[in-house]
Amino acid sequence: MLDENAKKTMLLKIPHALYICGVKDGEELNGFTASWVMQGSFKPPLVINCVRQDSGSHAMLKKSGVFTLSFLDEGQKDLAAKFFKPQSRVGNKLADIDFTLGEKTGCPIITDSLGYLECRVIGSVDEGDHTVFVGEAIGAGIYRDGKPLLLENTGWQYGG
């Protein structure tokens, strides 16, 4: 029998950085705060990105097969918060944000970030309430040095 309290406590102890995941569908652009992200392989360079299936960004990512990850620094909690809300409720989240389009993917990259990866989806697993997207890093850039924003340092909880 699974101890639900122990499960939730231990899952919340898994450390997560926060990123802005940029997606597109044709000319439509969006971004969302991603936290269930990790490196999956050296060769080829693979990134695992888990995305809620009931989100509009999930549909965009599934259709286009590309995404970007902008790495946030420890002082960008407010920026991460802005991208947590669904686009359907708040409108264009990129309206007052400086960003560029990825050369390889055409997805938004936050210019005031530590840097970015551009990824092409090479596989996915639809299980539970998230899809596990496996992306191959096809582009990357560094904007500045800094420490990553960690979920545990925000006082927020996502998971369990």
The CATH number for 15-145, chosen from 3.30.200.20, 3.30.70.2740, 2.30.110.10, 1.10.260.40, is: 2.30.110.10
Each domain of the chain, given as residue ranges in start order, spans 15-145
Q: Which amino acid is at 104?
A: K
Kindly state the average pLDDT of the residues 72-92. 85
Which pLDDT tens digit goes with each residue over 97-154? 999 999 999 999 999 999 999 999 999 999 999 999 999 999 999 999 999 999 989 9
Say if residue 91's pLDDT is above 80. no
pTM over 0.85: yes
14-45: pLDDT as tens digits: 888 999 999 999 999 999 999 999 999 999 99
Amino acid in position 85? K
| Element of type H or E holding 77 | helix 77-82
Enclosing H/E stretch for 4: helix 4-11
Q: Tokens 């809300």, residue?
A: 85
Q: State the Rg of the chain over Cα.
A: 15
* Sequence-distant (≥ 6) Cβ neighbours of residue 158 within 8 angstroms: 16, 35, 151
156 or 120: which carries more pLDDT confidence? 120
Element (H, E) at 100: strand 99-101
Residue 152 to residue 148: CA distance in whole angstroms: 11
**pLDDT score for 160:** 54
**Residue among 23, 20, 1 at smallest CA distance from 107:** 23
Cβ atoms of 102 and 22 closer than 8 Å: yes
